[in-house]
Structure 1
Amino acid sequence: MDDTDTGVYARESDRLGRAVELGVAGGRALSVSFPESLPPDAGSDHPTLDRLFAYLDGEEDSFSDVTLAITVPTEQRRVLDAVGNVPYGDTVTLELVVRMTSGLDHEADADLETAREALRANPVPIFVPDHRVTDATGATPPDVAETLRGIES
């Protein structure tokens, strides 16, 4: 993505049974969502959207080179950074995510809740693969998360 790249892009995914929507500003990914229907004002031609659809077709991609522009509290950002380090095809528990997150204690209820909140608030599913956390709900809808795990297995 280049620095002037701004807009909303989306396409219908037969694999997911819904659309995949990508928000971009200043060449950075702001959001990924899975609306039930295609937004009428979204463009359909974007190289990162092409990569998302190649991933949905089974092509392995870490998306580690996609620049993200996400705004969440610092502790939540550290959780999302930890989730971003879970490799393609692997799954982890929420406890392991908290263990992987600097400054959080996996035995502290408040820190476990911070991690849960971060996953639910994740603005860029797939790029931050909350579907790889098996015992906590992320921003990825449950049916989509199950499909993504199936793609990666």
Structure 2
Amino acid sequence: MDDAETAGNDASAGIYARESEYLGRYVQIGVAGGRLLSLSFPESADPGADDDHELLDRIFAYLEGKRDGFRDVAVALAAATADHHILTAVREIPYGEQASVKQVARMADLDPEDGDDLQRVRQALDDNPTPLVVPDHRVRDGPSAAPPVIEQRLRSVEGL
């Protein structure tokens, strides 16, 4: 996304993970060059993962109810150009609000009445490498890259 954005003060590359009782899974992030590469919710953490990262601290505060849109987190999206626009549009959905797949298509300058464009939005959501930071759980009628139980917990945190 924007070069001025940061993935936290810790710009070191690595995998970081911490277990969440609320989610019943780990929250695992991959970071390189100060940018978030991946965010997942595995049942067990990568064996080499460290648990100390500023972004994990923010995610856990969010899970405890602190409002955070994560818009300042730099995300390294390697998606195709149209998918990049879609995921960037999803980042604009405010905390605690929802959008439809058609609204996301419109926000990404796609045709909300074109079935192929709507499928492209759904596919981009499903392939999202950083759910939560790119908040696909806020798209009420689209898939999330997070497991369904995690998607519901994230929606619950935001009162959706």
Please indicate the TM-score interval, normalised by the length of the shorter structure.
Answer: over 0.9
TM-score w.r.t. the length of structure 1 is 0.95
Change (3 A) 1:109 1:18: same
1:38 is displaced (CA, Å) by 2.1
Preserved CA contact (<8 Å) 1:3 1:26: no
| Runs of 4+ that moved beyond 2 A | 1-4
TM-score w.r.t. the length of structure 2 is 0.91
Letter in 1 for 2:97: D
| Unaligned 5+ runs, structure 2 | 1-7
Distance of 2:24 and 2:71 partners within structure 1 = 26
1:96 is displaced (CA, Å) by 1.1
Show the counterpart of 1:8: 15
Show the counterpart of 1:31: 38
- Residue deviations 1:73-129, cap 9 Å, x none? 010111101110000001111111111112x10111110111011101111111100
Show the counterpart of 2:68: 61
Change (3 A) 1:4 1:20: closer
Taking the TM superposition and a 5 Å limit, the aligned residue runs for 1:69-108 are 69-102=76-109, 104-108=110-114
Show the counterpart of 1:149: 155
| Unaligned 5+ runs, structure 1 | none
Show the counterpart of 2:123: 117
Show the counterpart of 2:5: none
1:49 is displaced (CA, Å) by 0.8
Distance of 2:77 and 2:41 partners within structure 1 = 17
